[in-house]
Amino acid sequence: MREGEPCEIVPGMYGVRLALPFALDHVNIWLFAERDGWSMVDAGLADERTRERWRELRGGLLADRPIERVVVTHNHPDHMGLAGWLCAETGAELWTSRTEWLFARLLAQDVSDEWIAAGRRFDHRAGLDEEAIEERAGRGNLYRRRVVPPPASFRRVRDGDRLRLGDIDWQVVVGRGHAPEMLCLFDPAANVLIAGDQVLPRISPNVSVWPSQPEADPLSEFLGSLARFRELPEDCLVLPSHGRPFRGLHTRIDQLVAHHEERLAATLEACTAPATVAEVMPRLFDRTLDGHQLQFALGESLAHLNCLVE
């Protein structure tokens, strides 16, 4: 898929690649032709480049019918970012899981001093130096800059629900760890899985601990939830949020589990003597990290440590 250009996946379903201003430079979204309108899965980041892509889509492929539903897999800015804007612009209804809506609604509006203080405590405890701590605190709540607040009301989607998009009945499978209650969608008839960020073809989804819950164990949740996806066919077509569609779901799950087992072993080796999270982190991320990458590396290092503690 090329940026902004719809690519038909199956009749009535299109994929679109939207650019991101990060090392991970794109996110895939999915469009569905309904009888009287359009539905979509995910909305992209809240920046002007993505808004322009949506304006082009609404003047092109989507021009014949209104947008009726915006389904969001999870709360991260590259997925939830413009959902609130699209709903306000079009009158569409937001569909997502309750936990993802709550997280997005809260984080998009949090300007409290307590939010900054929690980040400072988290960074101090992790062993970052004072310069890094103050630089990170000075950025404030970056989430707010990358997301339009989601609507004040939404339609809740649960694990096990059947969700009809276009002419396809999708089975909802919830993934955990990367996000608390991420929606993935499986079509048994066409053998297609919209995997969100739960299973990616070339990189491991980031599994991080955040300042709001410093003792969390998201890695155990992530590895545990992968068992649900092993129940799906090995040869299904996986549509990931980043990267190209692929087949070989079970093989990729095996690779992800092996990756984290290796990381856990490396983490344990780094703890033969007392060590901070910041001292363990270079054993897992042996490269120069920019500010954006640092927050994910720090959170994922702590996720491996908390998993070992548990």
pLDDT tops 90 at residue 1: no
Q: For the residues 185-202, what does the mean pLDDT come to?
A: 97
Please classify residue 301 by burial: count the beta carbons closer than 10 Å to its beta carbon, then call 0-12 exposed, 13-18 middle and 19+ buried: buried
Enumerate the H helices of 60-97 as residue ranges.
77-80, 83-90
Output the pLDDT for position 193.
98
pLDDT tops 90 at residue 290: no
Per-residue model confidence as pLDDT tens digits over 16-29: 999 999 989 999 99
Output the pLDDT for position 23.
87
pLDDT tops 90 at residue 306: yes
Cα–Cα distance measured from residue 286 to residue 263, given in angstroms and rounded to the nearest whole number: 12
pLDDT tops 90 at residue 69: yes
Spatial contact of 144 and 67, defined as CB atoms under 8 Å apart:
no
Residue type, 107: L
For residue 238 the two structure tokens come to: 């996986």
Query: Residue with structure tokens 């590259």?
Result: 78
Spatial contact of 148 and 85, defined as CB atoms under 8 Å apart:
yes
Question: pTM for the whole thing?
Answer: 0.96
Taking the CA atoms of residue 29, residue 179, residue 295 and residue 2 in that order, the dihedral angle to the nearest 10 degrees is -10
Output the pLDDT for position 39.
98
Q: For the residues 120-145, what does the mean pLDDT come to?
A: 96
Residues above pLDDT 70, as percent of the chain? 100
Per-residue model confidence as pLDDT tens digits over 37-67: 999 999 999 999 999 999 999 999 999 899 9
What average pLDDT does the chain have?
96
Output the pLDDT for position 108.
97
Residues above pLDDT 90, as percent of the chain? 96
Give residue 95's pLDDT band: very low, low, confident or very high (50, 70, 90).
very high
DSSP state letter for 36 = S
What one-character-per-residue DSSP string does 150-214 give?
PPS--EE--TT-EEEETTEEEEEEEE-SSSTTEEEEEETTTTEEEEETTS-SSSPPP----TTST
Q: For the residues 216-227, what does the mean pLDDT come to?
A: 97
Taking the CA atoms of residue 194, residue 197, residue 198 and residue 200 in that order, the dihedral angle to the nearest 10 degrees is 90
Cα–Cα distance measured from residue 130 to residue 123, given in angstroms and rounded to the nearest whole number: 9
Q: For the residues 194-215, what does the mean pLDDT come to?
A: 97
3-state secondary structure of 7: strand
Query: Residue with structure tokens 């969700």?
Result: 163
Q: Which helix (H) or strand (E) holds 299?
A: helix 291-309
3-state secondary structure of 38: strand
Give which of 218, 180, 220, 162 is closest to 73, Cα–Cα. Answer: 180
Per-residue model confidence as pLDDT tens digits over 140-173: 999 999 999 999 999 999 999 999 999 999 999 9
Spatial contact of 157 and 96, defined as CB atoms under 8 Å apart:
yes
Cα–Cα distance measured from residue 126 to residue 120, given in angstroms and rounded to the nearest whole number: 10
Output the pLDDT for position 60.
97
Give residue 287's pLDDT band: very low, low, confident or very high (50, 70, 90).
confident
Cα 297-111-78 angle, rounded to 5 deg: 45
pLDDT tops 90 at residue 292: no
